[in-house]
Structure 1
Amino acid sequence: MLLWIAFSLMTGAAILAVLWPLRAGVAPAASAAEADLAVYRDQLAEIERDRATGQIGAAEGEAARAEVGRRILRASAEAAQQGASSRGAETRRRAAAVVALVGVPVIAGTLYLTLGSPGYPPQPLATRLEARPDQSDIAILIRKVEAHLEANPNDGRGYEVVAPIYARMGRIDDSARAWASAIRLLGSNAQRQTGLGEALIAQAGGVVTAQAKAAFEAALADDPKDPKARYFLGLAAEQDGKPAEAGKIWGALAADSPADAPWLGLVHDSMARVGAVPPAAAPGPSTSDVAAAESLTPQQRQEMVRGMVERLQSRLAQDGNDIDGWLRLMRAWSVLGEAEKAKAAASDARTHFAKDEPALGRIDALARELGLGS
């Protein structure tokens, strides 16, 4: 019923918009030709009065009457022409009004009956959310979860599901609130804490705030090996002006990570930024090596790293059965910007493990990651 009332109002507005310019308005004043006729009739009466009183002669009176008569004929013709034009305009206005009154509703109704769905029942948003077969619309899914959470505010699982989606949509504040609610209702774990920490960093424009750092520390309390928390704690140290501490954190993360870990490239780039020694460059620096590196300049650290890589290469030349060593050597040369040496290390590694399919697979995977070709 409301729909048809709305349609009626819109149709009335459309008709009014058409008829308003066609309105006749007030009765127009006499035309110029009709005014001239009235003047000429007065002139004829005045001529007759002058003849009756003897003010003009008969001949003069006839001449004057003839002249006024010609003027009356001319004015009458003009008045007739204006009347015909006015009647034509009035006819056109009436025709346009009929079209507006009849045509607009008929055309609109026909289009709606043809293209619309007048018999379709009302579909409130809640019903569409429940009945919608196509669940690909992320906005609809989000609204469905939000409606569920409004009715069930203690459903921590719902907050956990929607939090990362908020982050991908750029709704960072909502993501942070959702992660905090999930932690409050479900308890702390590494995934929830790192999710909260990343949202807080995004809120701060990339700065690891104290609150974000606390979230990552809580994540490590639940899972000491969580790579995401370890990386961001290293970033927090770097932002606090502690590059050596950041290098230690990232170095330990790199040492604990598999050779094909997707985050290793980012970790090594971060280590190079603070002049840290990549643990991939050698079997593992000793405590004294790390302590010595902390007191060196960035250039000296780079030279130290290169020396460790060359020692690793010499060791593998003598005993090439260490697949992890070859992978470390490939990555180390790549981090140092020695692409040709990294390719040569990959080639030598393939030679040593020519009959070991799993090892060849690891070598090829790392070569593709480093952009060394196959």
Structure 2
Amino acid sequence: MVWLSVILAIIGFAIVGYTVWPAARLQPRWLAPAIMAGLIVLAGATYLAGGQPQAPGVPYQQAAAERRAANPADLSRDAQMERLRDILREDETDAVAWAQLGRMLARSERELEAINAFQRSLRLDLNARTLSDLGQTFMNLNDGRVTDEARAAFVEAQRLDPDMPEPSFFLGLGAFQSGDIDEAEAVWLDLIERLEDSDPYKILIAEQAFQLLSQPQVNAEAVEAAAASADFDPGTRIAAMVQRLEMRVESGEAGFADYLRLIRVRGMVGDDPGGMATLADARARFADRAGAMTILDLLYAALQSDEGQGE
């Protein structure tokens, strides 16, 4: 932009000349401002005619070209994200690039930016995977809670792709967090039953379902109050919990989660034979539930391994 440089130089010299040349002050007061205004207008017109206000500079273009030519796997995370932004600067309608950018931002714990990227992608392409990623990002932003926004994303993802395991799992987790253990159990067992044995999610979900469903159901306030008393005895409370669970099992009122709790609590107190006996009862009781049997088979293998190590 040679002409622009010349005009800017003239403006600079005019300002200096007006300041140091006494004769310039004898001219009409309006003349200098008028000349300056004209030069500024001329400079602006020259720039708009030949310049590119939105065009990146040459160094950026060179860096962008190098990023685009490189194997993404060889780039740092920041460089990979900048590469995706390069793509989006050229085409803001690339839904895949927006979704990929959202995933990278989420992994970098930049949840708010990730949510914006996912939403941009979804406005272009309503995709089950992106919806599931959006829901999980909402959860990460809220300490693992399945919020209303996360739940809505999972519901829509499940509608679009019923076979995707993550939305169902997290909807079950939402039910669990809200205190509806029976609903969570039903969702997870159905999901485990539907997954193929070769699907790696099957074992992961079965293990997570056990960890959650087997948590002892206790009143936190009552436990805190009891712990403050002088005669608090943890062993007595655990024994009472075991007795309540045993009574539910013997009466036939126990659900699948009750069996899991009893197995877990017996393991906590070192009663491995009692845990194995409860496991055998559960396998007989839920033999017709493939999802339940997957969890129980994992428990059996774990208990057998523990017994082998103890010998």
Normalising by structure 1, report the TM-score. Answer: 0.44
Matched, 1:253 2:195: no
1:127 matched residue in structure 2:
62
Q: Structure 1, residues 206-229: CA drift from partner, whole Å, max 9, x if none?
A: 111001001111111122232211
Q: 1:273 aligns with which of 195, 210, 215?
A: 215
Unaligned runs of 5+ in 2: 1-56, 218-251, 264-273, 285-290
Q: In the TM superposition, what are the counterparts of 1:60-209 in structure 2 within 5 Å?
A: 124-132=59-67, 134=70, 135-189=74-128, 191-209=129-147
Q: In the TM superposition, what are the counterparts of 1:1-374 in structure 2 within 5 Å?
A: 124-132=59-67, 134=70, 135-189=74-128, 191-259=129-197, 261-263=202-204, 264-273=206-215, 292-294=253-255, 298=258, 302=262, 309-310=279-280, 330-334=297-301, 337=303, 339-340=305-306
Computing the radius of gyration from Cα coordinates, the structure with the larger value is 1
- In the aligned structure 1, how far is the partner of 2:130 from the partner of 2:93? 16
Q: Structure 1, residues 173-204: CA drift from partner, whole Å, max 9, x if none?
A: 12111111211101232x11111100111111
Q: Are 1:250 and 1:271, in contact at CA under 8 Å, matched by a contact in 2?
A: no
Change (3 A) 1:245 1:299: same
Q: Which has the higher contact order (CA 8 A, sep 6+)?
A: 2
Name the SS of the counterpart of 1:153 in structure 2.
coil
- In the aligned structure 2, how far is the partner of 1:250 from the partner of 1:171? 30
Cα shift at 1:311: 5.3
Q: Are 2:185 and 2:213, in contact at CA under 8 Å, matched by a contact in 1?
A: yes
Q: How high is the sequence identity, in percent, across the aligned residues?
A: 19
Structure 2: which amino acid aligns with 1:266? Q
2:27 matched residue in structure 1:
none
Q: Structure 1, residues 319-350: CA drift from partner, whole Å, max 9, x if none?
A: xxxxx999766413256x55346x6xxxxxxx
Q: How many residues align?
A: 197
- In the aligned structure 1, how far is the partner of 2:155 from the partner of 2:275? 30
Change (3 A) 1:300 1:156: closer
Q: CA RMSD in A?
A: 3.8
Normalising by structure 2, report the TM-score. Answer: 0.53
- In the aligned structure 1, how far is the partner of 2:211 from the partner of 2:297? 15
- In the aligned structure 2, how far is the partner of 1:186 from the partner of 1:153? 13
Structure 2: which amino acid aligns with 1:130? A
Q: Are 2:151 and 2:171, in contact at CA under 8 Å, matched by a contact in 1?
A: yes
- In the aligned structure 2, how far is the partner of 1:200 from the partner of 1:181? 15
Q: Are 1:254 and 1:267, in contact at CA under 8 Å, matched by a contact in 2?
A: no
Q: Are 1:254 and 1:268, in contact at CA under 8 Å, matched by a contact in 2?
A: no
- In the aligned structure 2, how far is the partner of 1:205 from the partner of 1:326? 31
Change (3 A) 1:162 1:302: same
